Amino acid sequence: MANPEKHRCIARLRKKYAAANRKEKTKILDSVCLAFACHRKDAIRALRPSDAPRPPGKTGRPPVYGDDAMLRALKKLYLLADQPCSKRFVALIPLWLPALEKREPLAPEIRDALLRASAATIDRLLAPTRAKKKGGRPSKPGSLLRNVIPIRTGSEDINKPGFVEVDTVAHCGTSLLGDFAWSLTLSDIDSEWTEMRAVWNKGVHGVLEKIDAIRKILPFALIALDSDNGSEFINNHLVRYCATEGAPVHFTRSRPYRKNDQAHVEQKNWTHVRQVFGYERLNRAEYVALMDAIYQVLGLLNNYFMPVMKLVSKQRENAKIRKTYDAPKTPCQRLLDSPDVPETTKVLLRARLAELDPLTLRDELQNKLRAFWKLVRSKT
């Protein structure tokens, strides 16, 4: 049926529809939907008189999450948590909401709405608030003892804590010449527990000292250490340390120029280091102690209160790659759920978790960062 014929047919039915009772209207709608293969709502709109008054305001179901107070609380919590993705944010809300309510009591309906909102709803509500992020930058590889240290390329068979990846990040600005601070990042593959420390000039002894300091505070035994091919790792000192210091540590390395071999720690280099200190040149040795103090607070905040998602599977479908992730959990929660972590360690983790407050840690972190950058600006 051509469009003019459709319009004439609808015009004739419109008068009949306006004078019909409820049963007759149902039959007319059924016939229109069958004849024109349209939705029932489209048929109702087409048969409605052209001069019929429209309902005021927005039609349809009223919004469930449109309350201004709820949006303000959601945005505040989102910004306090440094803008995580919506799936991590859903898991983060129950952890941070009690601390937020201690400072700003919320109405019961707002609290229930925050806990009930899905990841898709949060994406829609926070779309105007989200900030764009830029990518990272490559690190410089090195070469020593490559024939002695075995290569590790995958982590699919790792299912318990203790297998860590380690890497360094240069705070050199736009030039690698001269002296400047570096950040050392150590991340556990299974639990995503991550510790960071600052080191001056990426010296062999300084890097080894920081690795040993991190090892002593880890809530699990160090089983294997995987690094890139930088000279700060591929050296006799670290090889000897892994072989003789306490329980032996299996030392492996990634393939040259293959950053994805260390995907876990490379991702933490961005979220835990670059987002905090950026790309500025930090060329004074006095900054190292201040950076360590910042990293200690940041480590507590990330390991106890920031949920992370782990990649479960990756499948290629033609030109697309479909990735599947597990449910968001904090590194602390992953250790508590692990059967390989001793119960004595779990008791300590629960006690430490009960002592900490995410908003207090965040305030302390912001105060330390403000003092740090004030010092950096004064020295520039």
* Contact indicator for 24, 60 with CB cutoff of 8 Å: no
Domain assignments of the chain as residue spans, ordered by start: 3-47, 68-125, 163-379
> Across residues 314-343, what is the average pLDDT?
92
* Contact indicator for 336, 349 with CB cutoff of 8 Å: yes
- For residue 157, the model assigns a pLDDT of 73
* Contact indicator for 162, 224 with CB cutoff of 8 Å: yes
Q: Which residue has the tokens 């080894």?
A: 208
- For residue 137, the model assigns a pLDDT of 44
- For residue 130, the model assigns a pLDDT of 76
**pLDDT band at residue 52 using 50, 70 and 90 as cut-offs:** low
pLDDT at 132 over 60: no
* Contact indicator for 182, 206 with CB cutoff of 8 Å: no
Q: Which carries the bigger pLDDT value, residue 38 or residue 148?
A: 38
pLDDT at 172 over 60: yes
CB atoms within 10 A of CB 248: 11
- For residue 133, the model assigns a pLDDT of 47
- For residue 18, the model assigns a pLDDT of 86
> Across residues 104-130, what is the average pLDDT?
89
Task: Reduce the DSSP state of residue 175 to 3 states and report it.
Answer: coil
Which whole-number Å values give the CA distances from 225 to 40, 128, 152, in the listed order?
64, 42, 10
pLDDT at 138 over 70: no
Whole-structure pTM value: 0.75
What's the number of CA atoms in the CB half-sphere (13 Å) around residue 58? 4
**pLDDT band at residue 144 using 50, 70 and 90 as cut-offs:** very low
- Computed over every residue of the chain, the mean pLDDT equals 87
Q: Which CATH class is domain 163-379?
A: alpha beta
pLDDT at 107 over 80: yes
